[in-house]
């Protein structure tokens, strides 16, 4: 039961050895709330939700911190005269929260906003200046920069040499000693709103992006914590700069660095310039939220995922097989001594897959093997085996957050697409029943064959009191 995770810093699998036995401190870079969330944001949040759930299953008490960057150049740029920057940030933050909630992502232990930790950023910047790793620009702008040349380890996270790095683009180079130095504090500018400025020892202004996460992670997890996570696109410069400034300030910072892969769309990188962004609201309109969760979880978290509309159809079919087995098992076991689900225990192979750097694709293979075996047991009338396999399937789906019978999904099972499919299938089942009643068995068989070809499995329940019922599920 040793959990292994791929550490981006060492570029190898490492066994998880936490700073405090039985506890995990985890910080994940959350959204910069400049515009609506897209599929990549949902996938990233889900990756760390799965990590959190699995570590909790393995007995760890997880303190999970995911920040909100609510002050940033892009937020100020996207705000209009009719939409103050803080109003835009809050509105977009609510969109992110709604998307996360829709696909069953657990709320963080703490979800700090950057604007609530400005004083902690001041403290960290002051320490860096005192230690000789930061300086106030001599152009009277009020800018403060991290001096990369004073930190020999700069580049260790992404395995780069300073001489090979591009100039930092987070601020104008005029006040910098080196174009690769990055901003810790940005002096107020005349064209920026007064509300986007805080007093500081170096003059009014606002924090640079990178210092925000260093300050917030320290505030909520301390100077040393176990896991730092985020999207692969954040490794440089954001995470590299976080590591440099926190280490230079004397903090041990994160023991492990975990990065999730990005999402392509139809083989192309998703970008606004290509006009191929898939937003969370669009995605959730195409399929049930639990199916979206299943789909986003189905690829290994470190892989590049390629989105296409056909992928959601495949995910619906795959999830439908899990859902169909659990529904079928519930009916078959109802009224028997196996009706109640026992203590949830995941199969050893399932646990081994997740212990190995969160191998969700391999764990799903174990899950579907149990579903197939469970259906076979039901076909054979072996209720004891079917009940055991149902318990395994429930346990596995609980860990992954996709148990079809969980209240959060059951409450949403009557969505328009599901309701439309149910109505169409039920109409064909009624036509088949009418044909059988009229002894038109050829027509009844034809309807069953059409449904089978469409991936719909019919199950004729035994006659009770002279009447019978037909249940259906997705194959």
Q: For residue 135, what is the enclosing H or E element?
A: strand 134-136
> What is the pTM for the complete model shown?
0.86
pLDDT tier at 462, thresholds 50, 70, 90: low
pLDDT tier at 467, thresholds 50, 70, 90: very low
What is the edge-to-edge ordering of all strands in the sheet holding 205-207?
134-136, 144-146, 182-187, 205-207
Q: Where are the beta strands (DSSP E) in 210-331?
A: 224-231, 253-260, 263-265, 268-269, 305-307
The mean pLDDT value for 35-46 works out to: 96
| Distance of alpha carbon 354 from alpha carbon 309, whole angstroms | 27
Helix ranges restricted to H, 103-167: 118-130
When the candidates are 1.10.3720.10, 3.40.50.300, 3.40.50.620, 1.20.1300.10, the CATH number that belongs to 19-282 is 3.40.50.620
- Phi/psi at 12 (5° precision): -155, 160
| Distance of alpha carbon 215 from alpha carbon 236, whole angstroms | 18
DSSP for 387-424, written as a single string? HHHHHHHHHHHHHHT--TTSHHHHTTTT-HHHHHHHHH
Which residue in 361, 338, 336, 337 sits closest to 349, CA to CA? 361
Average of per-residue pLDDT values in the chain: 91
When the candidates are 3.30.70.20, 1.10.940.10, 3.30.70.340, 1.20.120.640, the CATH number that belongs to 310-410 is 1.20.120.640
| Distance of alpha carbon 100 from alpha carbon 42, whole angstroms | 7
Residue 375 and residue 474 in contact, taking contact as beta carbons nearer than 8 Å: no
Which residue in 425, 421, 468, 401 sits closest to 57, CA to CA? 401
Q: 289-298 vs 309-333: helix axis angle to the nearest 10?
A: 110
Residue 419 and residue 428 in contact, taking contact as beta carbons nearer than 8 Å: no
Of 225-229, 252-256, 319-323, 415-419, least confident by mean pLDDT is 415-419
| 1-28 confidence digits (pLDDT tens) | 799 999 999 999 999 999 999 999 999 9
Q: Rounded to whole angstroms, what are the CA distances from 467 to 9, 138, 433, 462, 472?
A: 65, 89, 11, 8, 17
Q: Where are the beta strands (DSSP E) in 160-209?
A: 182-187, 205-207
The mean pLDDT value for 188-196 works out to: 92
What sign for the dihedral angle of Cα 104, 107, 108, 111?
A: positive
The domain segmentation of the chain, as residue ranges, is: 19-282, 310-410, 416-474
pLDDT tier at 464, thresholds 50, 70, 90: very low
The mean pLDDT value for 171-191 works out to: 91
The mean pLDDT value for 239-249 works out to: 98
Q: Inform me whether the pLDDT recorded for 454 exceeds 50.
A: yes
* pLDDT at residue 273, rounded to an integer: 75
């Amino acid at each position: 039961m040793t959990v292994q995770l791929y550490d981006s810093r060492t570029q190898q699998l490492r066994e998880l050895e936490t700073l405090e036995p039985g506890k995990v401190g985890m910080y994940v870079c959350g959204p910069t709330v400049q515009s609506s969330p897209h599929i990549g944001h949902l996938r990233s949040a889900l990756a760390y939700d799965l990590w959190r759930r699995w570590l909790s299953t393995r007995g760890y008490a997880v303190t999970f911190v995911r920040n909100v960057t609510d002050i940033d150049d892009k937020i100020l740029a996207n705000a209009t005269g009719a939409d103050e920057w803080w109003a835009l940030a809050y509105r977009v933050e609510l969109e992110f929260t709604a998307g996360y909630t829709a696909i069953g992502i657990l709320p963080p232990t703490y979800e700090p906003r950057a604007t609530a930790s400005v004083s902690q950023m001041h403290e960290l910047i002051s320490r860096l200046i005192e230690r000789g790793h930061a300086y106030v620009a001599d152009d009277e702008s009020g800018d403060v920069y991290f001096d990369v040349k004073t930190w020999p380890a700069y580049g260790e996270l992404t395995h780069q040499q300073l001489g090979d790095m591009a100039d930092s683009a987070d601020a104008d180079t005029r006040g910098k000693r080196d174009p690769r130095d990055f901003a810790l504090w940005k002096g107020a500018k005349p064209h920026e709103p007064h509300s986007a400025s805080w007093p500081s020892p170096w003059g009014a202004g606002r924090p640079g992006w990178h210092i925000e996460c260093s300050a917030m992670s320290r505030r909520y997890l301390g100077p040393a914590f176990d896991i730092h996570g985020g999207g692969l696109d954040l490794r440089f410069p954001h995470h590299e700069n976080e590591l440099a400034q926190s280490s230079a300030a004397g903090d041990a910072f994160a023991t492990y660095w975990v990065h999730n892969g990005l999402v392509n769309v139809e083989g192309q990188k998703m970008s606004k310039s290509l006009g191929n962004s898939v937003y969370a609201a669009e995605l959730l309109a195409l399929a049930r939220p639990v199916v979206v969760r299943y789909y986003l979880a189905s690829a290994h978290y470190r892989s590049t995922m390629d989105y296409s509309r056909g992928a959601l159809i495949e995910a619906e079919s795959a999830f439908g097989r899990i859902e169909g087995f659990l529904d079928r098992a519930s009916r078959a076991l109802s009224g028997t001594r196996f009706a109640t689900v026992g203590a949830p225990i995941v199969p050893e192979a399932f646990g081994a897959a997740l212990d190995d750097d969160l191998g969700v694709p391999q764990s799903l293979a174990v899950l579907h093997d149990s579903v197939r075996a469970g259906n076979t047991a039901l076909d054979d009338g072996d209720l004891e085996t079917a009940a055991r396999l149902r318990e395994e399937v429930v346990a596995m789906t609980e860990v992954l957050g996709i148990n079809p019978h969980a209240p959060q999904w059951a409450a949403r099972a009557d969505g328009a697409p599901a309701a439309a499919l149910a109505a169409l299938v039920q109409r064909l089942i009624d036509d088949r029943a009418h044909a059988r009643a009229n002894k038109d068995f050829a027509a009844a068989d034809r309807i069953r064959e059409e449904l089978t070809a469409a991936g719909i499995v019919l199950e004729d329940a035994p006659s009770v009191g002279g009447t019978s019922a037909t249940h259906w599920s997705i194959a």
